Amino acid sequence: MTTTTPATIEKDGGTPPSGAPKRRLRLAVDVRQYGIFGALVLIVVLFQILTDGKLLLPANINNLIQQNAYVLILAVGMIIVIIAGHIDLSVGSVVAVVGALTAIAIVHWGLPWWAAVFIGLLAGAVIGIWQGFWIAYVGIPAFIVTLAGMLLFRGLTLVLLTGGTINALPGEFVAIGKGALPQWFGTVLGGHDPITLLVALVVVGATIGSTIRTRKRRQTLGLPVEPRGSMIAKLVILAVGVLGFAWILSANSGLPIILIILAVLIMLFTFVLKKTVFGRHVYAIGGNRFAAEMSGVPVQRVNFLIFVNMGVLAALAGIVTTARAGGAVASAGNMYELDAIAAAFIGGAAVTGGIGTVVGAVVGAMIMGVLNMGLSILSVDSAWQQVIKGLVLLLAVAIDVVGKRRGRR
């Protein structure tokens, strides 16, 4: 006989029982989903005050996106890995080796930049196949395989670069990391880029439309829906946040190319996790692998694809990092894996797997980025920056653990 508890209902997204437990469950879900957004807003406001308004200057917002693009990309892949109950310690080394290979393809082999990018992404897929094979089909824990990968690919980077660097990359390639769309329509409203503002309006409109459609569909099917007031408040906050962000960003030099890449990744992987069979299988494996196997989930194949995906995203992060730096160096990607893991856990991923969202991981990465930038503007020593970020990570995981413990009572 199986016993259904509020905790399992919440995890599975099912319908809670009636009465007081339902009310507590709904509150717990709301806190988990929106608490991380509140934390981000609080940190931004705090540093905006402490830095005398420098944090939200247009140039700093642009730098915030470009400097943290690598962790945003890695966090998107890492959250899927963690939801499935794994970990990947090799992504920093994959960033380095793919960056080196891409630079060699451009400078030494004379290939056009787009062909080098393709080779870099292909290399990331091959690395993901290599690691996914050992994890999914041989049964070696991901911690061991990716630890070996961290050493392996860092060593290959040193071999490829022979301890030196590769510079003189073409402008088209460098623009991937630190370029922006041309301001084809000039500026409006006192120096703001109309393309950036238009894109923000489209994003807000699409989000509102999608939310309303989803609510109506759930009502038609008789499924529980979010309270109307909560939904409206969430959409208003989202609209104000997106439009305010776009307003500040549009006062700089146009829409960053990397922001477009990030937006596509976030929408794509949010759709994959929420709307596809693959996404449901990832949550099922992380929630209870044995039950997933007994339910017919192809665990080996899903685990294999998770690491292939992580390899491709790590390769993309390597390309972006190399483009922004304007060259390949052997030390690239150092500690990037820890940034990505921290972003995922700060963004709400559960240490036991089965819980987490792409948007949460992205918000977690933004919290890390704002902390980095705010502390840098305040000229806080880098050693103390590490201390503060470590405490933030510990606090995020502690909240998750304590919340789960209360949920079992």
Clarify whether residues 173 and 104 are in a common domain: yes
Is 7 contained in some domain? Answer: no
Task: Mark whether 197 and 281 lie in a shared domain.
Answer: no
More confident site: 175 or 3 = 175
**CATH number of the domain encompassing residue 84:** 1.10.3470
166 plus 273 within the same structural domain: yes
Which of 221, 255, 289 is at the close of a domain? Answer: 255
Quick: pLDDT tens for 67-105: 888 889 999 999 999 999 999 999 999 999 999 999 999
Tell me whether residue 3 is in a domain.
Answer: no
pLDDT: which is higher, 56 or 322? 322
- Between CA 215 and CA 110 the distance in angstroms is 53
Report the distance separating Cα 315 and Cα 321, nearest Å.
10
**pLDDT tens digit string along 112-151?**
999 999 999 999 999 999 999 999 999 999 999 999 999 9
Give the CA dihedral 383, 388, 394, 396, nearest 10 degrees: -140
Task: Please check whether residues 250 and 260 belong to one and the same domain.
Answer: no
What average pLDDT score do residues 165-173 get? 86
**Does residue 27 lie within any of the structural domains?**
no
On whether both 221 and 134 belong to a single domain, the answer is no
- Residue-range definition of the domain harbouring residue 326: 33-179+256-401
- Residues 6 or more apart whose CB falls under 8 angstroms from that of 159 comprise none
Residues 210 and 327 in one domain: no
Residues 162 and 276 in one domain: yes
Q: What mean pLDDT comes out for the span 336-356? A: 86
CA neighbor of 74 nearest in space, from 315, 373, 282: 315
Number of domains comprising the chain: 2
Domain boundary among 198, 223, 255: 255
Closest C-alpha to 250, from 190, 316, 178, 176: 190
What number of helices (H) and strands (E) belong to the chain?
17, 2
Torsion of CA 93, 97, 99, 103, to 10 degrees: 160
